[in-house]
Amino acid sequence: MAKSVFSRMADILKANINELLDRAEEPDKMIRQMVREMEEAVNKATASVGTALANQKRLERQHAEKWAQVEEWQRRAERAVEGGDDELARRALERKAVFQKMRDDLGAALEESRQSVTQLKTQLGELKVKLEEARAREGVLVARHRAAQARKQMAQSMSGLGSGAFSSFERFEQKIESSEAEAEAYEEMASDKDDIEKQIRALDTGKQVESELAQLKAKVTKKQD
């Protein structure tokens, strides 16, 4: 069980975060979900370490009991020899050998259990550090992903727009400027024409006035004669 828990945690830690976020519709929720999975994995790993440690304690008690039984049968064998009962001493030594074998087997299992617990504790400590790092980086990772997505969208928009659109826009602007220039030219020409017509009308009016003046002067002179 412990192995599967640590393997799952390792898979989460080694996952390509950016790839997962790119596929996710809601990256914020995706990151929070990953942190929750890591928390669950750490909790399960903690429970596994606890189970392994409890098994180690059980083996230690059994190993100590077998040691005590070996020593007890050793003392009985010695008392039998002191009492001159070799047969009883022999049976006592045989029982001692049985418990001694059990003690040795438990000793090997206990050593393996201790190594396993030490390894699991080390791994659990590393996982807890990784989890704390993930919790601390959660907000930063979300912000970085959002910024990267914004830059990506902007780049895609610029790429989709292309230089053709800018060229068309510039040509349209130039066309408008050309139309404005033509309008100004026509307005200027129309203004010049109005000025000429005014001058001509003023000239005609002046001639008429001079003619009438000459006629008036001739009339006045005739009356005086």
pTM confidence score: 0.51
Q: Residue 150: its pLDDT value, please?
A: 78
- 99 token code pair: 């418990």
- CATH fold group of domain 2-176: Helix Hairpins (1.10.287)
Given a contact cutoff of 8 angstroms between Cβ atoms, the answer to whether 110 and 60 are in contact is: yes
Distances (CA, A) of 113 to 25, 49, 187: 46, 11, 102
Q: Give residue-wise pLDDT tens across range 143-178.
A: 777 777 778 777 776 665 555 555 666 777 788 788
Which residue is associated with the tokens 């000793």?
Answer: 107
More confident residue, 39 or 186: 39
Percent of the chain with pLDDT over 70: 72
Q: Residue 25: its pLDDT value, please?
A: 56
Q: Give residue-wise pLDDT tens across range 182-213.
A: 777 777 776 666 666 677 677 767 677 677 76
Q: For residue 111, is it left (φ>0), alpha (ψ between -120 and 50) or beta?
A: alpha
Q: How many CB atoms lie within 10 A of CB 59?
A: 19
The structural domains of the chain, with segments of one domain joined by +, span 2-176
Given a contact cutoff of 8 angstroms between Cβ atoms, the answer to whether 66 and 99 are in contact is: yes
Q: Residue 17: its pLDDT value, please?
A: 54
Torsion of CA 143, 146, 150, 153, to 10 degrees: 160
